[in-house]
Amino acid sequence: MRELTADGIDVVRVSYPDLIGIERARDVLVERLPGAVGHGLSFCRAVYHTTPQGDTVEVPGGMDAGLPDIRVRPDLSTVAKIPWEEGVASCLGEAYEPSGDDLCPEGPREVLRRALAKLGELGLNVVAGPEFEYYLCEPDPASPTGWRPYADAPGNVYTSSRKGDPDGHVLRVLRHLRDFGLDVTMGNHEFGGGQFEINLHHSDALDAADRAFRFKTAVQEIARTEGRLATFMAKPFNDQDGSGFHVHLSCLDADGRNVFEGSQGDGLSETAHHAIGGVLEHAPALAALLNPTINSYKRFGPDSLAPWLIDWGLDNRSSMVRIPPERGAATRMEVRLGDASANPYLGIAGLVAAVYLGVRDKASTPPPLEGYGYDAAKSPALPRDLSAALDALAADEALVEVLGEQFVTAFLTYKRDEVRRFSRHVTDWEFREYSYHL
């Protein structure tokens, strides 16, 4: 409290992720922080099961149990001053059961810890490097959505400077996120008009997920201070590319050695091949976690650079799992399956679980993809919609066991409600397609 007060901080924002990665939070006056640490902050458990539109889904343990509380305790090791909000610091919260003794099993941080613990039984730890793309939008009353892409001149692919970012948004975000302690490294304009990418440095998987969660929230908040909208939707615009969430992943042994490094012809170890095989084998179920919305599956398709086939390749960006060309301590896989709407904790937890199962079961890998991909005759396809992906997750008993049955039940119930609601909704496309002639 003395340190915060001396730094001009009088409020601490305690935040934690819900099932889909939305920040849930409470602002605590500094003088009230000891009580928040000791007892925890009470939140209705159904916050985990609340949709983006504010409706509560009937997930077991929520409404059926009388809407009980959870306790969220500040993790003071994560306190950081918010550079764009005067007098406010932020920290992550740990979600506990009402007794205050056990962590909530559907809490995304706990789901990731559970997967890491299973991999730890094999003497391995995961290093992850997340990459996110997002669209920055400006208000547009004439648009049906109320928004249009910011600075959307075509062809500003992999550019920086005012050419593709006339207001200096990326520079502002990079500096704020650096000062916020998120260990960002670089940023640029991406393929789509108004689309940007900012990279996070690699670290232990839980730390990487923590920083990824805070990164997404921070980018959205900074955009709001600019009067804009930053969206991590998978594909917000019909005529633009989708936004990805790529994860660079490697495994270290107890001595800190990268066990993916090998002496085989491709420079990969047997462990690396087993890990790749695990990701490929469980890819249909992983899609539910890494492509978790109705909108996610509109990002897929040939020539989109978004994988829709289950394959891997050596430095091949048209494959689902790409092995970058670096070797030695930098040997790693880049899983390109995810889109930016994914909850980073759950996406990384799914990958860790798949790697664990692949290494444990000594999963095999098919030959790597040669040339340009997207040939359905060469590789099996991923689920084509969210409903199929949820069915694949439900059927993957091994992955469910690692992630936790209570979490998976909550996630499936929540997401199947989303599918049902969308199936009853009349879209603008349907009215435009049918109304005049039919």
Residue positions counted in the chain: 438
Same fold, 1-103 and 114-423: no
Least confident of 60-74, 165-179, 329-343, 423-437: 60-74
String of DSSP letters for 157-209: TTB-STTT-TT-HHHHHHHHHHHTT--EEEEEE-SSTTEEEEEE--EEHHHHH
Q: How far is residue 78 CA from its own chain's centroid? A: 19
What confidence tens digit (pLDDT) does each residue in 269-305 have? 999 999 999 999 999 999 999 999 999 999 987 777 7
pLDDT reading at 357 higher than 80:
yes
How far apart are the C-alpha atoms of 35 and 32, rounded to whole Å? 6
Q: What is the pLDDT of residue 98?
A: 85
Q: Which residues on neighbouring strands pair with residue 139, listed in sequence order?
A: 147
Helix (H, G, I), strand (E, B) or coil at 359: helix
What confidence tens digit (pLDDT) does each residue in 385-414 have? 999 999 999 999 999 999 999 999 999 999
Provide the residue type at 283 as one letter. A
CA distances from 236 to 7, 261, 293 (A): 40, 39, 12
How far apart are the C-alpha atoms of 259 and 420, rounded to whole Å? 44
Q: How confident is the model at residue 21 (pLDDT cuts 50, 70, 90)?
A: very high
How far apart are the C-alpha atoms of 341 and 347, rounded to whole Å? 10
Average pLDDT over the chain, rounded to an integer:
94
- In the chain, count of helices (H) and strands (E)? 12, 16
Angle at 77 between CA 74 and CA 82, to 5 degrees: 80
String of DSSP letters for 250-266: EEE-TTS-BTTB--STT
How far apart are the C-alpha atoms of 212 and 32, rounded to whole Å? 28
More confident residue, 83 or 308: 83
Provide the residue type at 104 as one letter. C
Helix (H, G, I), strand (E, B) or coil at 375: coil
CA quadruple 398, 399, 404, 408: dihedral sign: negative
Q: What is the CATH number of domain 1-103?
A: 3.10.20.70
Least confident of 243-247, 286-290, 315-319: 315-319
What confidence tens digit (pLDDT) does each residue in 182-209 have? 999 999 999 899 999 999 999 999 999 9
Q: What is the pLDDT of residue 305?
A: 76
Which residues lie below 8 Å from residue 262, measured CB to CB, with a gap of 6+? Answer: 268, 269, 270, 271, 272, 331
How far apart are the C-alpha atoms of 216 and 358, rounded to whole Å? 30
Helix (H, G, I), strand (E, B) or coil at 338: coil
How far apart are the C-alpha atoms of 164 and 189, rounded to whole Å? 7
CATH class of 114-423: alpha beta
**Nearest C-alpha neighbor of 374 from the set 311, 425, 332:** 311
Domain ranges, ordered by start, for the chain: 1-103, 114-423
CA quadruple 207, 290, 228, 199: dihedral sign: positive
Quick one: angle between helices 405-423 and 283-290, nearest 10?
70
What confidence tens digit (pLDDT) does each residue in 217-239 have? 999 999 999 999 999 999 999 98
- Whether the CB-CB separation of 220 and 207 falls below 8 Å is answered with no
Q: Which residues on neighbouring strands pair with residue 230, listed in sequence order?
A: 136
Least confident of 52-66, 110-124, 218-232, 337-351: 52-66
**Nearest C-alpha neighbor of 358 from the set 249, 266, 263, 255:** 249
**Nearest C-alpha neighbor of 251 from the set 360, 402, 344:** 360
Q: What is the pLDDT of residue 374?
A: 83
- Whether the CB-CB separation of 21 and 216 falls below 8 Å is answered with yes
Helix (H, G, I), strand (E, B) or coil at 151: coil
